[in-house]
């Protein structure tokens, strides 16, 4: 019996079960910061909808999400979450961002539309019931040349001057362009790169951009090549996250209602690969990087 126990211990030590299959790391169980969340009008339709505030807050609560970046088309969704007593009751901190989109048409023209710039300024003046807006975005650039549009230039300068965090769904070329439009030429702007290159920017190129811009952080939803068949990080990404544990965030990207239906699963998927990282690195990427970026404490639960 004692010999059996010793053999079992040895097998566990080399990462195998008694049946020779890999021993899976325990899932991460700490708090999550959802750094890329939308509460768009089709999710709740101004109140009722398929996912009213109580529904989405329940999903966050069941997933252990304790803070969110809220950016919604139109901004009414974020404002509603920011004002919600239910968010406080659920122990979810709301970090509001100004969305650049009043409607679907704004996706493709915001970078040259002065009325979008005026709307952003009006929103910043108004603020939210959870305090001032903390960032702008998410915005999309499907052609990186549009990063040089007149309103894109003005918004990057405004973000740096006001200390607003930018959430940008762009390619690596556009990262360089957006950074070039700031007074510090990218040395001070804090920019969360939605999906960290949804087109599959190679990890080496991601790493070069992290080195060039101290305020650049990568949000990991939809990132191609991130997670392998065993639901753990693929080797190149595991190495990148371990080299730069302070530079990555997780997010749900609830851009369509199906993502709300999947919310708990999405967060569970993050918990699986986070569990395969050293505990301090997992907590950084899951929670502390977002909390530090916006200076928030873990909310108390009732």
Contact 250, 220 (CB under 8 A): yes
**Min separation Cβ 256 and Zn ion, Å:** 10
User: With CB under 5 A as the contact rule, which of the stretches 11-19, 196-204, 254-262, 263-271 interacts with Zn ion?
Assistant: 254-262
- Comparing CB distances to Zn ion, the nearer of 42 and 114 is 42
Question: Cα-flanking dihedrals φ and ψ of residue 93, to 5°?
Answer: -80, 135
Q: How far is the CB of 122 from Zn ion (least distance, A)?
A: 23
C-alpha closest to that of 275 among 58, 69, 59, 23: 23
CA 121 vs CA 9, 71, 115, 118, 172: distances in Å: 62, 16, 10, 5, 27
Are 173 and 141 contacting, i.e. CB atoms less than 8 angstroms apart? Answer: no
Q: Report the residue number, 213 or 255, with the smaller CB distance to Zn ion.
A: 255
Residue of 123, 138, 160, 219 interacting with Zn ion (CB under 5 A): 138
- Total residues at interface with Zn ion (CB under 5 A): 3
Segment near Zn ion (CB under 5 A), from 234-242, 250-258, 279-287, 290-298?
250-258
Nearer Cβ to Zn ion (99/177): 99
CB of 221 to Zn ion, least distance (A): 8
Q: Give the max Cα distance, the chain.
A: 77
Tokens at residue 41, please?
Answer: 């009008």
Closest residue to Zn ion: CB criterion: 253
Task: Give, in order, the Cα–Cα distances in Å from 156 to each of 120, 123, 144, 183.
Answer: 12, 16, 15, 9
Among 160, 253, 286, 291, binds Zn ion (CB under 5 A): 253
Residue 34 interacts with Zn ion (CB under 5 A): yes or no = no
Which residues of the chain form contacts with Zn ion (CB under 5 A)? 138, 253, 255
């Amino acid at each position: 019996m004692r010999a059996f126990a010793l053999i079992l211990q040895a097998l566990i030590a080399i990462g195998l079960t008694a049946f020779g299959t890999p021993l899976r790391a325990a899932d991460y169980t700490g708090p999550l910061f959802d750094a890329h969340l939308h509460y768009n009008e089709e999710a709740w339709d101004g109140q009722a909808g398929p996912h009213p505030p109580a529904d989405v807050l329940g999903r966050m609560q069941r997933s252990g999400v304790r803070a969110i970046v809220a950016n919604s088309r139109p901004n009414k969704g974020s404002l509603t979450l920011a004002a919600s007593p239910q968010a406080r009751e659920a122990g979810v901190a709301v970090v509001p961002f100004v969305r650049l989109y009043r409607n679907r048409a704004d996706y493709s023209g915001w970078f040259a539309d002065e009325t979008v710039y005026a709307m952003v300024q009006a929103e910043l003046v108004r603020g939210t019931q959870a305090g001032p807006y903390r960032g702008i975005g998410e915005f999309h650039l499907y052609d990186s040349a549009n990063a040089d549009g007149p309103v894109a230039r003005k918004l990057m300068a405004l973000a740096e001057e006001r200390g607003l965090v930018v959430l940008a769904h762009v390619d690596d070329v556009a990262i360089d362009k957006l950074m070039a439009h700031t007074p510090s030429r990218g040395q001070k702007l804090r920019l969360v790169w939605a999906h960290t290159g949804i087109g599959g920017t190679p990890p080496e190129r991601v790493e070069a951009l992290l080195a060039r811009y101290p305020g650049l952080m990568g949000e990991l939803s939809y990132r191609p090549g991130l997670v392998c068949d065993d639901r753990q990080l693929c080797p190149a990404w595991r190495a990148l996250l371990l080299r730069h544990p302070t530079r990555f965030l997780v997010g749900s990207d609830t851009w369509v209602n199906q993502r709300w239906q999947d919310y708990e699963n999405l967060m569970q998927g993050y918990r699986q690969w986070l569990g395969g990282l050293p505990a301090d690195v997992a907590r950084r990427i899951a929670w502390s990087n977002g909390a530090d970026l916006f200076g928030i404490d873990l909310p108390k639960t009732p």
